[in-house]
Copies of this chain bind each other. A is one copy, B any other.
Amino acid sequence: MTAKLAEMTTLEAAQAADDGTVVVIPVGAFEQHGAGLPLATDQIRAEALADAVAEALPGKVVIGPGVPVGVSPHHQAFAGTVSLRPALFAAVVREYVESLAAHGWRRFLVVTGHGGNNATLGTLAQDLLRDRPDLEFAWTPVTVLAGDAVGAMELTPVSGHSGEAETAQMLHIAPHLVRHDLLDPGTTTPDQLDPFARLARSVRHPAVALPYDRLSPTGVLGDPRRATAEDGRAILAEATDRIVAFIKEWLDT
């Protein structure tokens, strides 16, 4: 049977709630990913991970409705980018959680393919802690779960958005959506950055949010040509394992 709530009937949903399943909510972004990747890249990756987790944990997990648009003000200079304000994005996820909690679900895991959603998910977790102490709410980004797989790749000194790791995942998950011939390196070394951008990238804290058109004229950080589908498979596998292990332990608590 499908793990996707979207494809279940209300009777099947009732059963899944009774079974104490964890609701996995894939969220992403609708934003530029350079000349080579589609706008939905982050949502596609989040859904692939959710699917892999559900497949590995049959009967333990349901996949809830996704949020196809995330918090992307830093990409707004690039055509096609659609963005929700943090407060709005949080409100949407919260309504999902509270609607499903009304049917009996108690455990929620948001998988975000877009790092720009992290801070908002952090604030939502705090609000839920205050208002819904009866629920357990967790969230996770995708790529950072795969430290080993990414570490095994050869990244350029500046790397990140639409770069090696992200392109690899798309080559594995949705190769038909990759414009292979348009995969070109973006900003790859600090000296290509203006001084303030370079400063901002050089330290984790103080933290500075920068618009991506200031970081790269094409919106790409890194060299996507270095990515392979095999890298992407390894990233997805490692991330899946990490979440599966987490959920298994969670269900035992």
Contact = CB atoms under 8 A, between A and B. Distances in A.
Contact of A96 (B40, B69, B136): B69
Contacts of A13: 39, 79-80
Contact of A7 (B10, B40, B141): B40
Given A68-B66, A126-B86, A8 B145 contact: no
Which of A104, A121, A123, A133 counts the most chain B CB atoms within 10 A?
Answer: A123
Interface stretch (A149-157, A200-208, A229-237): A200-208
A99 B122 contact: no
Contacts of A206: 109, 138-140, 243, 246
Interface string A8-21: 11111110010000
A212 to B, nearest CB: 10
B95 A69 contact: yes
Given A65-B69, A73-B126, A133-B211, A177 B83 contact: no
B199 A246 contact: yes
Interface string A54-76: 00000000001110110101101
Given A84-B95, A95-B82, A208 B9 contact: no
